[in-house]
Structure 1
Amino acid sequence: STKEIISNANTFEIMNVNGQKISNVKYLKQDNVIEFDVSDMPEGIYILKITTIDGKKSSIKFQKR
């Protein structure tokens, strides 16, 4: 499940829709909430790629408005 992957996450990367890495994300993991500061990114659609400690991968598409 996505919740399990996020709770065991090791790295996060934000990619644009062309597959270019925008950034490795610094995150604050507290109370099972992860927050990302995307204020300096232009509006558009992005993909958050998550890799767990044991190598499982997942991705979540999001839009910044």
Structure 2
Amino acid sequence: MTSIQKDLISLGYRENTAAELIRQAKRSMVQQGYEFYTNRRLGRVPVAAVEAIIGASIRKDADDAKD
């Protein structure tokens, strides 16, 4: 399980939903021209790609800066 998946789960997403968000982010990255993300074994994606899908920040440092 990747750290971004753990972050999504800590935000309240279920494990399968978090994995699906990562798959969606991979598809998005491929559509943007990053063929590197077609690798089935690759489970890491940019945080910004997942944030664009869910429409919210998942970075802890960004949350701390607001306080």
Q: Same fold (TM over 0.5)?
A: no
**Greater share of strand residues, 1 or 2?**
1
- What is the TM-score with the length of structure 2 in the denominator? 0.28
Structure with more helix by fraction: 2
TM-score (norm 1): 0.29
